[in-house]
Structure 1
Amino acid sequence: MIAIIANPAAHNFSFEKLIWVKKRLEENKKQVDIFITKKAGDGTEITKKIDGIYDTIAGFGGDGIINEIINAPLKKSALAVLPAGTTNVLAIELFGLPNLKTATESLINGKKEKAYLGKINQRRFILMAGAGFDAESVYHVNPKIKRFSGKLAYILGGIKAFLEEDSECFKLKIDDKEYLVLWAIVSKIKHYAGRFKISKSVDLKEPKFELFFCECKNRKLLLPYCNAALFSGMHNYTNLSFIHKVITNKEITIKGTKIQIDGDYFPQSEAVITVAESIELVR
């Protein structure tokens, strides 16, 4: 049995696509029920009620609906992704591209593997947590622009954050070492903001993170540089003293900055980030 939790507010949502997925699954002898969310947080509440009743719970929408599902938390059912959102980073990580047909075929084949989540305070994430400028950009995303323009909303949010935010350095602690930091990304996956590849090493199947952070120096000079390094993958090859890249399963502490998880703003300024429990993931 498969439950599809669909978010009609997702950027690429359409009922026609949703009906196609249901029909395709039923053609392959899958029993399918659809649940439609009406507001933020509904994905979590629906999952709490149906976890364990269905073999698989699939999120039809963007990475946000996936985050809602895993924060029920998801304990007994497997998780699947049906991409219909803005960037669909999890679908890209699993399938190489955010293709609804490919994701549907994976549900038909039903291959499952263990995937470790991250935890930030009491909330789980499956992609990444970002702090500093990364989160400031997400904070400035206009939901209405995001609904109609998709990725453009994040670009505009980043420009607004760069021009308007008076970013202060924040504290990051790992392995009993404390740093003053301008920007940090704690990632469970190789991709970022779509198809940009920011890591070569981290994998959902393993209980560890890749931590990328830039120490606090001249904001106006370093933010464009760190953007270029991150999006081009250049940070994997440079050896600059103020940029750090660490593979770790240790606790990471962040204090005094804006934070985002899985592409959505996280309304707390202090956080303890740890590796969380594993779930079953369809891929």
Structure 2
Amino acid sequence: GIQTEAPIEVAFWTNEEGSRFVPVMMGSGVFAKAFTLEHAYAARDTEGKTVREELERIGYIGEQEPGDHPIGAYFEAHIEQGPVLEDADVTIGVVHGVLGIRWFDCTVTGMEAHAGPTPMALRRDALQVATHLMQEVVASALRHGPHGRGTVGMVQVHPNSRNVIPGQVKFSIDLRNSTDALVDQQVAEVRALAARLSTETGMAIGIEQVSSYAAQPFDAGCVQAVQGAAEQLGLSHMPVVSGAGHDAIYAGQLAPAGMIFIPCKDGISHNEIEDAKPAHITAGCNVLLHAMLERAGVVDA
């Protein structure tokens, strides 16, 4: 029985997570023209199947030109995907923005040698040099708190043999922070140590950027609408930032945007044990409703 001054639309974006196809946040990215529809259609999974083929298979190929109509404001509700709200025993996270993200692949090249006959002073151990860089990834994030993040999540050691000194190590670097300037500072510190280690050891160290997402502060009016809705409903709330990417990043490039977080057990997401309490889900939906109504405007009866 509520009539709004502006129409309300509900969007279910394709492939936010990127678990099967890359790029991530695919539907919103195409809508915002961050990349073309054809680029998204051409993406392949590990079995060689394309997005276009799979959308056709399930009858989800659309006819509308993505992004061919404007949006006035955008709100997104989500589990936090982290442990902050649960740890604080707070129901609603008022999201002020999304952290900037830089992903790199790092390769340290030394020389394979037998672990027994090769004295310590004559070794070119790629893994030992790599571990210094891995520690700097974490240390740099700690220096640039409270929103600094530094993660090495993937490591490949060659030849990965018990009695062979590693000749090459490849590993991932994931750096995040609340502003692009802070992320860039973390990147500069990691690169500076890599340059120094390369000079000191004579080993080649390559750091290649493979992905980059700018920090996305959300619209102050939308943030206030979320906070006001939580207050109106008498729900506990706190300001938070999103450490993960969301469709609101691309939508926020087109219109004022905001996000609502609710707690999830142990901060686990994209996993079979992901869990959120029904009461928290209800609270998040009600905050979403009132935030949308505040922005859309309600026609007086």
TM-score band (shorter)? Answer: under 0.3
For normalisation by structure 1, the TM-score amounts to 0.28
Q: Which has the higher strand share?
A: 1
Greater Cα radius of gyration, structure 1 or 2: 2
Query: Relative contact order, CA 8 A, sep 6+: which one is greater?
Result: 2
